Structure 1
Amino acid sequence: MHILTEQELHNLAMNIVGKQLEEEGFEFLAVNSELRKNPQFVCTKDKKMRFVVVKAIGYPGDPKDIEFFKSDLNKMSEHALKFEATTFYAGVGLVNATDHNLPVYLDEEYIVDFDGLVEI
């Protein structure tokens, strides 16, 4: 069994967020899947630029708790102002569907906890 690495979990979270952005009509200008390099998505909608920071959160972490990333998000918001962009946080909780105490494995079921974008 292959345990998903931090980068693989990050990519999975990005795929989940990217699909939602597409469904909501966002147009992608840039995509960055490198860990700890923000933002992951630079996109536009209604002629407004948006920066989206994606974080994969493993159990028992709470994807809605942005306090842990607050300084990163504040820096990104300041950077976004230079581009007249709005910054969003996308926390994606990922957990093993069989046993929450086990890691997420490749080709095994997992549960996604994602409530959408949170404006910073």
Structure 2
Amino acid sequence: MPRGSKAKYTEEQKRKAEHIEESYEEKGTPKGEAQARAWATVNKQSGGGEKAGGSGKKTSASAKAQAKSDSGKRAAQTRSGHGRGSKSSLESQSKASLMTEARSRNVSGRSKMTKAELIQALQTK
């Protein structure tokens, strides 16, 4: 396909480019420049013409489900040791985050507590 060919663009992309081009022309931009700007805008917004996705190989539904499950397991392993009430987890949080946690657990007097006091209260609750 020759360079500059618009054959791989969807009808929606072509309509969008035409509309943008008309808008530029109404503002007094020369036709060639208006067309170039319009296609540049469409390319920026949608990444260019229709493309075959990725490597071209199809992923089965079971492979996708397995990948999702594996991802969840990796995330859980990352969080291990940082469970609810864990001292290392609480110390790594900001005071605002601790306040939110204390609010959800109904810790009384939380608004006047320091970060260290919030950590202690959350560990005991």
* TM-score bin (small chain): under 0.3
| Bigger strand fraction | 1
Q: Larger RCO: Structure 1 or Structure 2 (Cα < 8 Å, ≥ 6 residues apart)?
A: 1
Between structures 1 and 2, the one with greater helix share: 2
TM-score, reference length from structure 2: 0.23
